[in-house]
Structure 1
Amino acid sequence: MFRNFKTVKRIVFGRGCFNQLDDILAAQRTAECPDMVFVVDDVFKKGKPLQERLPLHDEDLLLWVNVDDEPKTKYVDQLTAEVRKAMTERRRHLPAGVIGIGGGSTMDLAKAISLMLTNPGSSADYQGWDLIQVPAVYHAAVPTLSGTGAEVSRTTVLTGPEKKLGINSDHTVFDQMVLDPELIADAPREQRFYTGMDCYIHCVESLTGTYLNAFSQAYGEKSLALCQEVFLQADTPDSDDKLMMASYFGGMSIAYSQVGVAHAMSYGLAFVLGVHHGIGNSIVFDYLDEFYPQGVAEFRRMLERQGIDLPRGVTAASSDAQIDTMVNVALMLHPLWENALGKDWQQIMTREKLRDLYRRM
Structure 2
Amino acid sequence: MNEKKEIETDTMKARKPFRNFPMVPRVVFGRGSFDQLGDILLARRISIDAPMIYLVDDVFEGTELVGRLPVIFQDQVIFISADEEPSTIQVDTLVARIKTDHSERPSGIIGIGGGTLLDLAKAVSVMLNNKGSAAEYQGWDLVQRPSCYHVGIPTISGTGAEVSRTTVLSGPERKLGINSDYSTFDQVILDPDLTEGVPKDQWFYTGMDCYIHCIESLQGTFLNAFSQSYGDKALQLCREVFLGDLPPEESRDKLMMASWHGGMSIAYSQVGVAHAMSYGLSFILGIRHGLGNCLVFQHLQDYYPEGVAQFHRMMVKHNISLPTGVCAGLTEKELDQIVEIALGMVPLWENALGPDWRSKVSREDLKRIYRKI
Determine if the TM-score, normalized by the shorter chain, exceeds 0.5: yes
Instruction: Work out whether residues 89 and 171 of structure 2, in 8 Å CA contact, stay in contact via their aligned partners in 1.
Output: yes
- The answer to whether structure 1 residue 25 and structure 2 residue 41 are counterparts is yes
Shift of 1:34: 3.7
Provide the residue aligned with 1:110 in structure 2.
121
The amino acid across from 2:23 in the alignment is T
The amino acid across from 1:291 in the alignment is Y
Shift of 1:290: 0.1
- Partner-residue secondary structure (3-state), 2:359: helix
Shift of 1:354: 1.4
- Partner-residue secondary structure (3-state), 2:188: strand
- Partner-residue secondary structure (3-state), 1:238: helix
- Counterpart of 1:346 (choices 358, 365, 369) is 358
- The answer to whether structure 1 residue 220 and structure 2 residue 226 are counterparts is no
- Partner-residue secondary structure (3-state), 2:142: coil
- Counterpart of 1:203 (choices 196, 208, 214) is 214
Shift of 1:30: 2.6
TM-score by structure 2 length? 0.94
| Whole-angstrom distance in 2 between the partners of 1:31 and 1:138 | 14
| Whole-angstrom distance in 1 between the partners of 2:89 and 2:37 | 30
- Partner-residue secondary structure (3-state), 2:55: strand
- The answer to whether structure 1 residue 53 and structure 2 residue 56 are counterparts is no
Identity %: 58
| Whole-angstrom distance in 1 between the partners of 2:194 and 2:348 | 32
The amino acid across from 2:131 in the alignment is P
The amino acid across from 2:291 in the alignment is I
Provide the residue aligned with 1:37 in structure 2.
53
| Whole-angstrom distance in 1 between the partners of 2:76 and 2:254 | 33
Provide the residue aligned with 1:300 in structure 2.
312
Provide the residue aligned with 2:195 in structure 1.
184
Instruction: Kindly report the root-mean-square deviation, in angstroms, between the aligned alpha carbons of the 2 structures.
Output: 0.9
C-alpha distance after superposition, 1:282-322 (max 9, x if no partner): 00000000000000000000000111111111100111111
| Whole-angstrom distance in 1 between the partners of 2:75 and 2:312 | 46
Shift of 1:31: 2.6
How do 1:282-361 residues align onto structure 2 when only pairs under 5 Å count?
Answer: 282-361=294-373
Describe the shift of the 1:214–1:33 C-alpha distance in structure 2 as closer, same or farther (beyond 3 A).
farther
Provide the residue aligned with 1:162 in structure 2.
173
Shift of 1:32: 6.2
How do 1:50-89 residues align onto structure 2 when only pairs under 5 Å count?
Answer: 50-87=65-102
Shift of 1:196: 0.3
TM-score by structure 1 length? 0.97
Provide the residue aligned with 1:253 in structure 2.
265
Instruction: Work out whether residues 227 and 264 of structure 2, in 8 Å CA contact, stay in contact via their aligned partners in 1.
Output: yes
Provide the residue aligned with 1:171 in structure 2.
182
Instruction: Work out whether residues 339 and 366 of structure 2, in 8 Å CA contact, stay in contact via their aligned partners in 1.
Output: yes
The amino acid across from 1:63 in the alignment is I
| Whole-angstrom distance in 1 between the partners of 2:211 and 2:202 | 14
Provide the residue aligned with 2:12 in structure 1.
none
The amino acid across from 1:76 in the alignment is V
C-alpha distance after superposition, 1:194-245 (max 9, x if no partner): 0000000010000000000011000000000100000111131311000000
Greater mean alpha carbon deviation, residues 48-57 or residues 16-25: 48-57
- The answer to whether structure 1 residue 124 and structure 2 residue 146 are counterparts is no
Structure 1: stretches of 5+ with no match in the other structure: none
Instruction: Work out whether residues 48 and 74 of structure 2, in 8 Å CA contact, stay in contact via their aligned partners in 1.
Output: no
The amino acid across from 1:40 in the alignment is V
Provide the residue aligned with 2:277 in structure 1.
265
- Partner-residue secondary structure (3-state), 1:268: helix
| Whole-angstrom distance in 2 between the partners of 1:111 and 1:66 | 16
The amino acid across from 2:324 in the alignment is R
Consecutive aligned runs of 4 or more in structure 1 exceeding 6 Å deviation: none
Provide the residue aligned with 1:234 in structure 2.
245
Instruction: Work out whether residues 49 and 74 of structure 2, in 8 Å CA contact, stay in contact via their aligned partners in 1.
Output: no
